[in-house]
Amino acid sequence: MSISNNKQNNNAPIGFVDSGVGGLTVLEKVRKILPCEDFIYYGDTIHTPYGDKTKEQLLEYTDEIFNFFEKKGCKAVVMACNTTSSTIYDDIKNKYNFEIYPIVQSAAIILSQLPIKRLGVFATHGTIKSQSYPREIAKYNKNMEVFGQYCPDWVHIVENSLINDEKSIKIVENDLKTMMKNNPEKIVLGCTHYPFLLGVLTKFAPKEMFIDPAVDFAEFIKKDLTDKRLINNSTTEGIGEFYVSANPSLFRTSAELFYKLNKEPQLLTFNNSSKTVLVG
């Protein structure tokens, strides 16, 4: 029996995955330049935040979700999550029957070309610990100093629609103050949840200071799909399906700033979804 190859079916959907609503900041940009693509979005909200999970846990969750994408016949999957791109991409990159696009590795190519010497990165604990941004950027540019800062509360603020609370604004302001002490010329929002906080960040620093890597990431995905002749040849708007592993109604509310869902996402969990062990 021959195994069908999803990578050859240009009209198959594209999968998007993140721990929650963060990946919508990537989906939004991909939809703008590839509006005819069908897509399937999975927000693993039962396991949010990914930034505090072990590598073994992230491998387990991702394997379940990628098997689901494989069953759905996806031609490509976008790792719209810096944490999994940073910690497990190398372990899984050849394991599945579709193209895999990790945000950090793709964004680093473009970031390395910035005409600056000092680049700050706001990201999750997992991404900072992995050193993925300095490592990936150094592959293309050894003259840029890349320094990271972990923002422990930001994913919680975004997932729970607390963006405009006074307490949240203070937290973001303080984290930004700490970052500014290192004199970055630009700051990368190295977690896909963080663009939700741009409105708060720009109260305290100019908009030009911040880089959302998803803009170039979306262009990278479009170019690669084009080179591989994997662009959907339909001329009508693509159809999307949304799934979460917990709290569909909260997901819909928190998503609003980036993506207006016309109904709640479907609840979909896998066998091991109840195993959540936090790093001690």
Catalytic residues: 81, 191
Contact between 124 and ligand DGL by CB under 6 A: the answer reads: yes
Judged by CB under 6 A, the residue of 13, 14, 17, 19 near ligand DGL is 19
Tell me if 72 sits within 8 A of 40, measured CB to CB: yes
The β-bridge relationship of strands 145-150 and 210-211 is unpaired
Give strand ranges (E) for 130-267. Answer: 145-150, 186-189, 210-211, 240-244, 266-267
Judged by CB under 6 A, the residue of 13, 22, 102, 265 near ligand DGL is 22
Contact between 49 and ligand DGL by CB under 6 A: the answer reads: yes
The count of chain residues that interact with ligand DGL, using the rule CB under 6 A, is 16
Judged by CB under 6 A, the residue of 57, 105, 127, 149 near ligand DGL is 127
Judged by CB under 6 A, the residue of 50, 69, 96, 101 near ligand DGL is 50
Binding mask 205-244 for ligand DGL (x = CB under 6 A): ----------------------------------------
**Class of residue 215 by CB neighbours under 10 A (exposed 0-12, middle 13-18, buried 19+):** middle
**Residue 2: DSSP 8-state:** P
- Could you tell me the two tokens for 255? 């998503």
Tokens 């405009």 -> residue: 164
Query: How far is 210 from 163, CA to CA, in rounded Å?
Result: 17
Contact between 102 and ligand DGL by CB under 6 A: the answer reads: no
Residues contributing to the site for ligand DGL (CB under 6 A): 18-19, 22, 48-51, 81-83, 124, 127, 155, 191-193
